[in-house]
Structure 1
Amino acid sequence: MTECQICGGQVTELVDFGRQPLSDAFRVPNDSSEEFFFRLAVGLCDSCTMAQLMEQVPREKMFHEDYPYHSSGSTVMRKHFELTARHFLETELSGPDPFVVEIGCNDGIMLRTVAAQGVRHLGVDPSGGVAEVARGLGVQVRTAFFEETTAREIAAEHGPADVVYAANTICHIPYLNSIFRGLDALLQPSGVFVFEDPYLGDIVERTSFDQIYDEHFYLFTARSVRAMARRHGFELVDVERLPVHGGEVRYTVARAGSRPVDAAVEALLAEEAARGLGEPATLRAFGDAVARIRTDLVALLSELRAQGKRVVAYGATAKSATVANYCGLGPDLVEFVSDTTPAKQGRLTPGTHIPVRPPEAFAEDHPDHALLFAWNHAEEIMAKERTFRDAGGRWILYVPDVHVV
């Protein structure tokens, strides 16, 4: 057991994925330097029910100048963030001289729409490479980790914010108590903190265990977010289920008493209670289901190899590190991974060292089967790769179970 990073309660370990590398540490071939590994395990706080990793990876190892993920790489996500920006512009940012801060703005995919309307804004991101891309789009960016001191400095320089927003970022930050102290200093009295992250309810329901990796320190529920907010004088006032990234929830948090609590909050809390999302037995059952997926996936890939079939993977995602390392998938079972990110091409996947090749390698010589690591973009990818199916290719998926389509 260990101490909860939110409330100091006891955290009981429930699921262990074993030895894992940094999910985005793609290696140069023949690199003989020591590879960083840590133990990936998930526990549940006995007090506030926050699901969290049992071991922290130093933030500088994950988020740095060469961080390879670009939010704008997906058509679906570009549309999602444009709609998010327009929603803010029509609501929270419609008053006189509004100001919005985005934690983890990445390549500016959301803020560029805000910037185009001349609205005061600031993105905060520790990864210099993606921050430069955002600046090239006209987005104001501060290259830093967001924490209490950062928030106070922003407030002193720019004044209070009407909205602080984050997408797929807050679950990355173990020191959320510092974040909330910063929000207290930065937000207008009537301001809101809006963040969206992978939802534990969807992860359990779909057995999407690859949503658990080094960057995703927390796995949120409405119950745990409400408890966290209340510790700092805030209240969870709204929730919205989102279909992106395999299932997320957008949480809206405001100062206690400043806004009414939407009925959607109580509805989701009731659903979570009925499903036992705050109960250790639920996560233990999830762990058993994950172990079955590992058995089935390795058996399928081994059988295909024995039949002389060619299998490659599609999408060198961060979450694929969990699948590949937990299941022991190396070049003996998966020939290569096709990915559109130039920074990953020509490198090897973390831990398992499967070669990463550009999409041309996939298209020029279609394999028999493609293991879809980027399953959360399945519809978009399968529409794009129709010639693969037309040539007789089959997709292998492992969420919610192992199946071939």
Structure 2
Amino acid sequence: MSNCRVCSATVRKFFDFGRHPLSSAFLTPGEADDDREFRFRLAIGVCASCTMVQLMEEVPRELSAHRGYPYHSSNSTVMRKHFQATAEGFLATELDGPDPFMTEIGCNDGVTLQTVRDAGVRHLAFEPTGVDGVRTHHAFFDAAAAREVRAANGPADVIYAANTICDIPDIGSVLAGVDELLADDGVFVFEDPYFAEIVDRTSFDQIYDEHFFFFTGRAVHFLAEHFGFELADVERLPVHGGQIRYTLARAGRRRPTPAVEELLAEEAARDLTGPTTLSRFTADVARIRTDLLDLLRSLTADGKRIVGYAATAKSSTVTNYCGIGPDLVPFICDTTPSKQGMLTPGAHIPVRPPEAFSADYPDYALLFAWNHAEEVMAKEQGFREAGGKWILYVPDVHIV
């Protein structure tokens, strides 16, 4: 057991994936036999008080924060359009006043703020590594960084974050920063994977070192009030396997929308983080591992060639939990240059460029980027025309 990073109550474990590597810590071929590869226990639990679902063990920040993040939103047409539409929504609502100011926590490759910039609106990204084309404050977001930015720019009408807040174990420091920087009538908006979608889809691969929290409406409602804010709105998003966009405001400044109460009632009715739901989820995870291994072993025994498609962070959880190595999946194709020629964390599966996929199509492709399945399959029509088939494991193991 451990203590909740929100309210300090007891966190009770409900699933343990075993010891895992860092999901983005790719290795050179020469490092494959090095027994110093960092591993930690990937286990997940739920707070007995505030019901926040979270990892049981935190990866040291010095290991997780500076190893580079090879995913770029702009590489996906779907995600690029999503973030452009998000920015346009802010411009039409929260940023329509005199001289508005928007900040983003962890802006990835800057696609959201580029749209804000192009509209002539003041903006700033909190991004330690810097981003081309947008104003950047080279620091992690906390109270000190927020005070510095407010002193130079004034309060922020919008503080936005996508797939970032769930990654930060010290979430209290984030809310302290929001309190320092947010305008009186401003909003703190963040979107992250929704735990109910993970349960319903059995998308256990969304559980890895970079995702510390797995939000629910109830837990975010508690989180907001605990730090002096109010959950003003929620919006379901179809991206990345199902997310929710949460809008927080200062207490009493905005009337919560009906969507908030509807979500809380729905979660209560299904007992989302209760023992029955969590037990069913853990049984489903174990079943998928068995089914996926049985399929891969059967196809391999029949002489079928299988390769992986997209060396995502999620793939690290799947390969290491299921015990999938080069004997079953000889290599994974990925478009990210920094991954090519490397070995995947823990499982040590070689990563090759896309040309290795199209030059000699395999019989089957194990799609780790299942959240982009429609986009990927449309792109890889040649694979299907050559007789290739896709293997997916969400919400269950099946062949397309």
Where on the TM-score scale, by shorter chain, does this alignment land: which range?
A: over 0.9
Q: Do the aligned partners of 1:330 and 1:352 also contact (CA within 8 Å) in 2?
A: yes
Residue 30, structure 1, aligned to residue 25, structure 2: no
Cα distance in 2 for partners of 1:71, 1:64 equals: 19
Following superposition, the deviation at residue 65 of structure 1 comes to 6.0
Query: What secondary structure is seen at the aligned counterpart in 2 of 1:144?
Result: coil
Alignment match, 1:323: 318
Cα distance in 1 for partners of 2:62, 2:220 equals: 25
User: Which deviations, in whole Å up to 9, do the C-alpha atoms of 1:187-244 show, x marking residues without a partner?
Assistant: 0010100000000000000000001100000000000000000011101010000000
* Match among 255, 274, 277 for residue 272 of structure 2: 277
Query: What secondary structure is seen at the aligned counterpart in 1 of 2:111?
Result: coil
Amino acid at match of 2:341: G
Cα distance in 2 for partners of 1:192, 1:60 equals: 30
Amino acid at match of 2:384: R
Query: What secondary structure is seen at the aligned counterpart in 1 of 2:29?
Result: coil
Alignment match, 2:93: 91
Residue 369, structure 1, aligned to residue 364, structure 2: yes
With normalisation by structure 1, the TM-score equals: 0.97
* Match among 239, 242, 251 for residue 256 of structure 1: 251
* Match among 110, 113, 127 for residue 111 of structure 1: 113
Alignment match, 2:58: 56
Alignment match, 2:11: 11
Cα distance in 2 for partners of 1:316, 1:187 equals: 37
Q: Do the aligned partners of 2:24 and 2:67 also contact (CA within 8 Å) in 1?
A: no
Alignment match, 2:158: 163
Alignment match, 2:399: 404
Q: Percent identity?
A: 65
Residue 147, structure 1, aligned to residue 142, structure 2: yes
Amino acid at match of 2:340: Q
Following superposition, the deviation at residue 149 of structure 1 comes to 1.6
Residue 20, structure 1, aligned to residue 15, structure 2: no
Cα distance in 2 for partners of 1:305, 1:219 equals: 35
Following superposition, the deviation at residue 60 of structure 1 comes to 2.9
Amino acid at match of 2:16: D
Query: What secondary structure is seen at the aligned counterpart in 2 of 1:319?
Result: helix
Cα distance in 2 for partners of 1:266, 1:30 equals: 54
Gaps of 5+ in 2: none
Q: Do the aligned partners of 2:25 and 2:67 also contact (CA within 8 Å) in 1?
A: no
With normalisation by structure 2, the TM-score equals: 0.98
Gaps of 5+ in 1: none
User: Which deviations, in whole Å up to 9, do the C-alpha atoms of 1:40-73 show, x marking residues without a partner?
Assistant: 0110000000000000012232232632121211
Cα distance in 1 for partners of 2:278, 2:149 equals: 39
* Match among 275, 294, 297 for residue 299 of structure 1: 294
Cα distance in 1 for partners of 2:229, 2:6 equals: 14
Q: Kindly report which structure 2 residues correspond to 1:359-398, keeping only aligned pairs within 5 A, or say none.
A: 359-398=354-393
Q: Do the aligned partners of 1:163 and 1:192 also contact (CA within 8 Å) in 2?
A: yes
Query: What secondary structure is seen at the aligned counterpart in 2 of 1:30?
Result: helix
Moved over 3 A (4+): none
Amino acid at match of 2:21: P
Residue 185, structure 1, aligned to residue 180, structure 2: yes
Query: What secondary structure is seen at the aligned counterpart in 1 of 2:336?
Result: coil
Q: Do the aligned partners of 1:44 and 1:280 also contact (CA within 8 Å) in 2?
A: no
User: Which deviations, in whole Å up to 9, do the C-alpha atoms of 1:290-342 show, x marking residues without a partner?
Assistant: 00000000010001110111000101101110000000010000011011000
Work out the number of aligned pairs and report it: 398
